[in-house]
Amino acid sequence: MRVGPFWLGIALALPCVAGAANDEASATEGWFDALRHGEFHFIPRYRYEDVDDEAFSEPARASTLRSRFSYRTAAWHGWTALAEVDDLRSIGADEYNSTRNGEVTRPVVADPEGTDFNQLSLAYADERYAFTLGRQRLTLDDHRFVSPSSWRQNEQTFDAVSARVRFARAEFLYAYLASVERIFGPDPGVPPPRLNSDSHVLNVRVGAGALGNVVGFAYLFDFDNASALSRDTYGVLWTGTYPLTSTLGLVHNVSYATQDNAGSNPTDFRAHYGQVQVGLRYRGWTALVGRDLLSGDATRPNRAFQTPLAGLHLFQGWADKFTTTPPQGITDDYASVAGTWGGFNLQVVWHRFEAEAVDRDYGEEWDISVSRRFATRYDVLVKGADYSSRGFANDTTKWWVQFIANF
């Protein structure tokens, strides 16, 4: 198991520093009670993933089990400590390219085996302030720029210091990212399991009443072992649901951002991103149409808008053909319907992909998922994606069956 010694040392030392400000006996007793009344959770997640990609002569079949063990102390004067360990194993034959197992003749299913600390942190929280130090999960807004990328069996977490300040209608978040523990970890290989980071995250959310929420953000990423991903992104996001009647609401999601090279990135460029979603919500059902645009360049490489820390599976189709924006950018027009029927959660999405910088058709995709919770602690999911290429990558079909328990 791997965890940065700097964060581990500070996480172990801070409780001692906090306790030094109190009477030694009462501090020891308080921490003992916090440990004794803490919560332990065991969350196994089994997944079967089948990938048929026409670029490969053989399909991928991945049968994996992630076992998550977590323990969080009870609060002591607002302080809590969290330790969370993930263990990921292949159950059955290794008939997929995990990026670490050498099965390069089959499609990639980026779920390599391994055991590591998914989170190891010390946190303080009260009604206005929150502070977390150590390896932690960060989720901002719609997962477009900073996300734990929780779809993959090995989550993306951050060795970071983060702080939030809440007011009546506003919330400010700042985080310094010392490293990014990626989905490809923990063992070394290509792609690298972690990004060595000197990055800053600033996010400001302001409530606008019935008009929703407005978010301004600055994400200043600098990675010394992935210089092409070093870039500064500034933008704004406006989201909300405007009530039309007592049962009908207008859903909107509008975002715009610009991006420039930063740090050791050798390419001088400027790119932009835009998203517009409009839909209707009625009695638990939501219908949306939208467009996502990530700019590129007609002839020059390495100038496309990229989102390296995003929850990439959530955008541009579940077949994951566009987790890296193509050099000529991408325009994604889509429509979706999602809701609950008979205790089942249903979703259907259609995408049409084109290049942004030139007149080029990439392809289409259909996505569908059905899930249900049983007995409050069991979740079952069946999900599929079918990408039809019209000149970008290859036809690809994916299917998943997933089971989660929460103890």
What 3-state class would DSSP assign to 301? coil
Instruction: Compute the distance between CA of residue 397 and CA of residue 386 in angstroms, rounded to an integer.
Output: 4
280's tokens: 């209707």
Nearest 5°: the CA angle 232, 236, 242 is 160
Q: In this structure, what token pair is assigned to residue 257?
A: 């951002």
Supply the pLDDT for residue 94: 83
CA nearest 395: which of 329, 321, 336, 332?
321
Q: How many CB atoms lie within 10 A of CB 400?
A: 19
Helix, strand, or coil here: 331? strand
The pLDDT score that the predictor gives to residue 33 is 84
Q: In this structure, what are the phi and psi dihedrals at residue 31, rounded to the nearest 5 degrees?
A: -70, -35
Is 305:331 a contact under the CB 8 Å cutoff?
no
Cα separation, 333 vs 314, in Å, equals 14
Cβ–Cβ < 8 Å for 330, 322: yes
Predicted pLDDT of residue 17: 44
Q: Where are the beta strands (DSSP E) in 9-97?
A: 39-53, 60-72, 79-90
Res 29: pLDDT: 66
Phi, psi angles (nearest 5°) of residue 303: -120, 10
Round to whole Å and give the CA distance between 349 and 335: 6
Tell me how far apart the alpha carbons of residues 147 and 5 are, in angstroms, rounded to a whole number: 24
Q: What averages of pLDDT result for each successive group of 10 residues across the chain (407 residues)?
A: 48 45 55 87 98 96 97 94 97 91 95 97 96 97 97 97 96 98 94 96 94 96 96 97 93 97 95 98 96 97 97 97 97 98 96 97 98 96 98 97 97
- Give residue 22's pLDDT: 46
The residue among 104, 106, 132, 100 whose CA lies nearest residue 119 is 132
- At residue 311, what is the residue type? G
Q: What is the pTM of this model?
A: 0.91
HSE-CB at 197 with a 13 A cutoff on CA atoms is: 28
Exposure string over 291-300, b if 16+ CB within 10 A, otherwise e: ebbbbbbeee
H or E element that contains 236:
strand 231-243
Tokens representing 193?
């399991």
Instruction: Give the pLDDT confidence score for residue 11 in this predicted structure.
Output: 45
Instruction: Report the pLDDT value the prediction gives residue 31, as an integer from 0 to 100.
Output: 77
**Residue carrying the six token digits 């975002």:** 255
Between CA 195 and CA 179 the distance in angstroms is 6
Residue 262: C-alpha distances to residues 231, 248, 256, 383 (Å): 4, 44, 19, 38
